[in-house]
Structure 1
Amino acid sequence: MTLVRLEERRRALAEAMDAKGWPADSEWVRRAILDTVPRHHYAPDRLWTWNGRDAYVPVDLGREPDTWADLVYAGPNDSAITQILDGLPSSSLSCVSVVADMLDSLELQPGHRVLEVGTGAGWNAGLLAARAGAGQVTSVEVDPGLATAAERRLTAAGLDVDVHTGDGQAGWPAGAPYDRLIATYAAQRVPWTWIEQTRPGGIIVFPWGRLGTIALTVADDGKSATGWVHGLGMFMPSRGTDQGSDFGQIQGDGEPEREAKADTDLEPLTGPDALFALRVSHPDIRITTEHGERGLTVRLHDGISSWATAVTDASGTTVAHEGGRRRLLTEVEAGLQHWGTQGSPSLFDFGMTVTSGTQYVWSGTAEAGPYRP
């Protein structure tokens, strides 16, 4: 029954990818994802899913094979959680759409030497090896258990990947220089070691923070790397990163400390362009939006102690209730106003430059300097 379900889900995935045109320029990525490196070969027998209330619960292949298959191939925009630590997801099979976009951005060619940081279950390393060739891919994983299991799966699939246990932030200098480097976890700051270990002209693709994937090209002199945002993507941070408290924990059960009214339209926050601009200008403010019966609800928090809930009703009036030291609604309004004065740049108008001592995000051109209000 599982084989039938797996085949059904794989066909549905292929149709969804074709409908969206994923990936746009790399037919090899589509073939590898759908045919030569099947996703379910890299899924552990136990996956995890949210119970809808208060916890992640296991789904075991032996007990719930169809549910397990549904999680592996849930859809192009859905990840499959493969590990839980301290009640939170710590590793996953990333959603297919983002994997395809990142591999497309990597511009990987046969014979390229590749460093992957964050082996996880091994699926992305398998995709890389299917393109680059035997012995061309080095992958580093901080969790020894995950590294061992991934190496076993890759060997069983006949794919020659050099898997090491180590800190991905340090890369793997023994195999440098690499033609390509790809990270499968979110990096707030790009380690200079990644650039040092990538040859001039080489490409580095990684998820930046909580939103967006970036492709950097190392300069000819090796002293910097610069490049553009290539798409949206939400990845887990590197192991040990403090993710802060969530909105509910910060808000608590107490009454709001104050009420505020917005003079700025918050609707742009429902789209990726303004949301990314705020991610750049106010990186510690976390923003979620929801359209409901009351209208548009925007929830803000800083992961520490300040929060705000703003509701825009049918008349266009926005009222927020806030708690904590910071006035988050005022800060977000300032960010939106600055975005507007800059011509409302799209997500793809942003880029990043990294040197050994600096890292900044810009809009339009690198020469414009850091994007900030």
Structure 2
Amino acid sequence: MTDVLEERRRALDEAMRTRGAWPEDAPWVRDAFDALPRHAFAPDRLWDWDGNAYVPVDRSASPGRWAELVYAGPDDAAVTEITDGLPSSSLSAPAVVATMLDSLDVHPGHHVLELGTGTGWNAALIAHRVGTSGRVTSVEASTGLADAAARALNRAGARVDVAVGNGNLGRPATAPHDRVIATYAVDHVPWTWIAQTVPGGDLVFPLGRMGHFAVTVADDHRSARGWMHGLAQFMNARDIPAPAATVRSYTQVRAGRAPDDKRGVDRDITPLHTDVNLLWALRMALPDVVYATDTDRDGVNAWIHDGTSSWAVVTTEPDGGARTEQGGPRRLFDAVETAWDAWTAHWQVSRWDHGITLTEREQYVWEGDPDTGRRHRLPSPGST
């Protein structure tokens, strides 16, 4: 088993190197990965999707498959917990972990607060960086996960204080913190995170299904501002239901219903499959909508739904044109075209040219310039 794990580790390291996933300006990340192997924090039971449901993969019964799941690839998370048939905790994808740690800009001696301990691996990597002069505090909502993570951290010799609690409340007892990092997605950033970070300190967090942002707290402690750093999606906080569109499939939403609307499409739909900047813009404009695309001999096809009752399918026809069929109370492809046109009219802003501003009163994502760029306001907690 040791040989298999070492082989998988080397393969992942090489895959990360080949695609440039090791941060050049943070070489400590690769060193930490080497010092604290991922499998040392993986539970003995992982979960694998068999095409219909998640099935358990136990280390004792299927050591080879277990090792494959732990070290699947740079973009592959290992599911460590299932709740109500859906993933509720995981070992995050290695490339995402590396990118977020690079974004955090953590240094020796820093006091870091992590929200969402999970297996403890991410906290261990941070502890490796801050050293004996620093401090890492990690908050986990699940008592079972917190206990397991604490044991794994102790075995690894990683100095991390693990606490059970609500991550959205931060950790007042250990504030202020030089850096704060969340490993679960929020739709609205808790102000407590900013309040518990020193002026000039940095926070890294995933925002909804959009990606992760890195912000710096202003010197007057009244705001924080920064840029989008990555596109990976994360699980929501445990007390926040997963977005409906990520739980139900297009087939489930359509449920065999005939379309309410059919029409031709007067545009090339190829960018829905190829242009990640367009997909980012659509995610900003229609955050509750999911898109799936594929190609056949005629061209690109797209399936769109909102997880509840509305759906649309767009198909490329043999003559090169396209048609759409839509059903439900919302005309989703109409909404997509409106958002698409607005993005085009605003100079097709790249996903990397989006930032975020946070104050105690409002939060918004902006395009290009924090003061003059087009703004997308985030909903307040509890709003619809």
Short-chain TM bin: over 0.9
Q: 2:266 aligns with which of 253, 259, 263?
A: 263
Deviations 1:272-325 (CA, angstroms, capped at 9, x unpaired): 211111111221222222223452121211222111111123543221121111
**Whole-angstrom CA distance in 2 between matches of 1:359 and 1:219:** 15
Q: CA deviation at 1:16?
A: 0.9
The two structures have a TM-score, normalised by structure 2, of 0.93
After TM superposition, list the pairs within 5 Å mapping 1:1-373 onto structure 2: 2-22=1-21, 23-33=23-33, 35-52=34-51, 54-134=52-132, 136-243=135-242, 244=244, 245-246=247-248, 247-270=250-273, 271-371=275-375
Q: CA deviation at 1:186?
A: 1.1
SS of 1:9's partner is helix
**Whole-angstrom CA distance in 1 between matches of 2:251 and 2:193:** 36
When residues 105 and 256 of structure 1 are mapped into structure 2, their CA distance, relative to the original with a 3 A threshold, is same
Q: CA deviation at 1:154?
A: 0.2
**Whole-angstrom CA distance in 2 between matches of 1:107 and 1:277:** 27
Match for residue 381 of structure 2? Answer: none
CA RMSD of aligned residues (A): 1.5
**Whole-angstrom CA distance in 1 between matches of 2:376 and 2:146:** 40
Deviations 1:58-94 (CA, angstroms, capped at 9, x unpaired): 0000000000000000000101000000000000000
Q: CA deviation at 1:371?
A: 3.2
Q: CA deviation at 1:211?
A: 2.6
SS of 1:360's partner is strand
When residues 157 and 294 of structure 1 are mapped into structure 2, their CA distance, relative to the original with a 3 A threshold, is same
**Whole-angstrom CA distance in 1 between matches of 2:115 and 2:263:** 44
Using the TM superposition, name which of 144-153 and 201-210 deviates more: 201-210
The answer (yes or no) to whether the contact 2:270–2:299 under 8 Å persists in 1 is: no
SS of 2:30's partner is helix
**Whole-angstrom CA distance in 1 between matches of 2:56 and 2:319:** 45
The answer (yes or no) to whether the contact 1:112–1:179 under 8 Å persists in 2 is: yes
When residues 275 and 136 of structure 1 are mapped into structure 2, their CA distance, relative to the original with a 3 A threshold, is same
**Whole-angstrom CA distance in 1 between matches of 2:81 and 2:149:** 13
SS of 1:138's partner is strand
Deviations 1:117-171 (CA, angstroms, capped at 9, x unpaired): 0000111011111101246100001111000000110011111101011111111
**Whole-angstrom CA distance in 1 between matches of 2:116 and 2:222:** 25
The answer (yes or no) to whether the contact 1:231–1:347 under 8 Å persists in 2 is: no
The answer (yes or no) to whether the contact 1:262–1:333 under 8 Å persists in 2 is: no
Deviations 1:147-198 (CA, angstroms, capped at 9, x unpaired): 0000110011111101011111111111111111111111111111111111
Structure 1: where are the runs of 5+ without partners? none
The answer (yes or no) to whether the contact 1:295–1:312 under 8 Å persists in 2 is: yes
**Whole-angstrom CA distance in 1 between matches of 2:192 and 2:373:** 23
SS of 2:375's partner is coil
Q: CA deviation at 1:372?
A: 5.3
Structure 2: where are the runs of 5+ without partners? 378-384
The answer (yes or no) to whether the contact 2:209–2:287 under 8 Å persists in 1 is: no
**Whole-angstrom CA distance in 2 between matches of 1:293 and 1:214:** 39
Aligned pairs, number: 370
SS of 2:281's partner is helix
Q: CA deviation at 1:368?
A: 2.1
SS of 1:304's partner is coil
When residues 198 and 372 of structure 1 are mapped into structure 2, their CA distance, relative to the original with a 3 A threshold, is closer
SS of 1:188's partner is coil
Deviations 1:197-221 (CA, angstroms, capped at 9, x unpaired): 1111111111111131110111111
**Whole-angstrom CA distance in 1 between matches of 2:70 and 2:366:** 37
**Whole-angstrom CA distance in 2 between matches of 1:84 and 1:194:** 28
The answer (yes or no) to whether the contact 1:49–1:81 under 8 Å persists in 2 is: yes
SS of 2:295's partner is strand
The answer (yes or no) to whether the contact 2:298–2:320 under 8 Å persists in 1 is: no
When residues 24 and 277 of structure 1 are mapped into structure 2, their CA distance, relative to the original with a 3 A threshold, is farther
The answer (yes or no) to whether the contact 1:177–1:199 under 8 Å persists in 2 is: yes
SS of 1:254's partner is coil
Using the TM superposition, name which of 277-286 and 253-262 deviates more: 253-262
SS of 2:73's partner is coil
Q: How many percent of aligned residue pairs carry the same amino acid? A: 51
The answer (yes or no) to whether the contact 2:183–2:206 under 8 Å persists in 1 is: yes
**Whole-angstrom CA distance in 1 between matches of 2:298 and 2:238:** 39
**Whole-angstrom CA distance in 2 between matches of 1:315 and 1:353:** 46
The answer (yes or no) to whether the contact 2:210–2:284 under 8 Å persists in 1 is: no
